[in-house]
Amino acid sequence: MTLSSPPNQPDPLSGRLDGNAAAGQLREIFAVDLTAAVGCCSGCGRTGAIGEAHCYGPAPGIVLRCTGCDGVLLRIVTTDDRVWLDMRGLSILQLSLRG
Amino acid sequence: MARAAVLGRLTWRAATVSAVRRESATARTLTLDVPGWPGHLPGQHVDLRLTAEDGYTATRAYSLASAAEGMRIKVTVEQVPDGEVSPYLTTQAAPGDRMEIRGPVGGWFVWRPDQPGPVQLVGGGSGVVPLMAMIRGRSGSGAEVPMRLLYSVRDPAAVLYGDELAAAADRGVRVDVVYTRDAPPGWSRPPGRIDHRLLADVTVAPAERPTCYVCGPTAFVETVAELLVRVGHDPSRIRTERFGPSGGRR
């Protein structure tokens, strides 16, 4: 698989994008948009929108890291028929129920 | 789209190219007909999947350039040298071609027409694409909130949507263009990057509490976001989206 950043590959200078780039993959799994959700980093306690997290990828999966401590918030690996999701770096995820 | 957040899991939809428009030497806008398209908000993007005859697939994300208009969407694609997908989209894709679309996605870097307060847009290179959707969304919805665009671009030939941006100025959207490499003869500002003086001069005053949307290459976005904070904007009102290589480096 290849993924995925608006509109193309990650910036070669920094090698990363932001959590917005993971929106499509996350919406394959979750019924709600996660980029507008506020997450709390289990490493340093910083809170912020998932869309603002640093995003590395795409191969072999997407890694979202905290903008404060650079700790891993979320990892997602997708193959043709399976998804692995590791969210241990997020102690809390706060979602809006309004559109 | 009112209940955009609760839609269920997304799947891929068939899309057909209905029109192609050249925007610059390296960028084209594709209009796609997507049956069942649920509508979208300015700033959202789509994942676009191409499948080769041998079954190989490649997926990329592209910001939506259009405001919601029925089952029709537009994406503007800038060609990435050595890219796997963009050369096809910018040089070969033609009306009738089929591809797959997953979206709309993204709920963070979006502007809602009913959102109160002024809006400051700052785009670098093809980072202007989702900002154009916001300008079009303002126009299409009749919203009258103050909106300004500061657009940083390499040279005049790389400007996207030039005529439409000029027309937007007549409808109350202030547009300032800063050229990083070559400016047109007689341009008011010598070529150069956005700095804090320019931001202080041409952006909505921090006291008016604008929501700021910054989109472009990662380095551009992080520099501009820092400068916006430096000139007094509230960090919690700055939303950013980072693109891959674009604008001056493409």
Rounded to the nearest angstrom, the minimum Cα separation between B68 and chain A is 16
Rounded to the nearest angstrom, the minimum Cα separation between A17 and chain B is 5
Class for the domain spanning B13-105: mainly beta
DSSP collapsed to 3 states, B16-31:
EEEEEEECCCCEEEEE
The residue whose two tokens read 């028929």 is A81
Side-chain-side CA neighbours of B184 within 13 Å: the count stands at: 8
Domain ranges of chain B: 13-105, 119-249
- In tens, the pLDDT along B146-180 reads 999 999 999 999 999 999 999 998 888 999 999 99
B105 interface with A at CB cutoff 8 Å: yes
Which of the pair, A62 or B248, is modelled with greater confidence? Answer: A62
**Kind of pairing, strands B119-124 and B211-217?**
parallel
Residue A58 predicted with pLDDT over 80: no
DSSP B88: I
How high is the ipTM of this complex? 0.77
Q: Which residues of B touch A53 (CB under 8 A)?
A: none
Rounded to the nearest angstrom, the minimum Cα separation between B2 and chain A is 6
* CA–CA separation, B193 and B179 (whole Å): 7
The phi and psi torsions of B214 (rounded to 5 degrees) equal: -120, 125
- In tens, the pLDDT along B90-99 reads 989 999 999 9
A–B CB contacts, 8 A cutoff, strictly below = 159
Q: Which residue of B has its CA nearest to A36?
A: B108
Say what the pTM is.
0.89
Give the residue from A3, A11, A78 with the most B CB atoms within 10 Å of its CB, the best one to mutate.
A11
Contact between B106 and B45 under an 8 Å Cβ cutoff? The reply is yes
Q: Which residue of B has its CA nearest to A4?
A: B60
The contacts of residue B207 (CB under 8 Å, 6+ apart) are B232
- In tens, the pLDDT along B73-90 reads 999 999 887 788 888 899
What architecture is domain B119-249? 3-Layer(aba) Sandwich (3.40)
* Radius of gyration for the alpha carbons in chain A, expressed in angstroms and rounded: 13
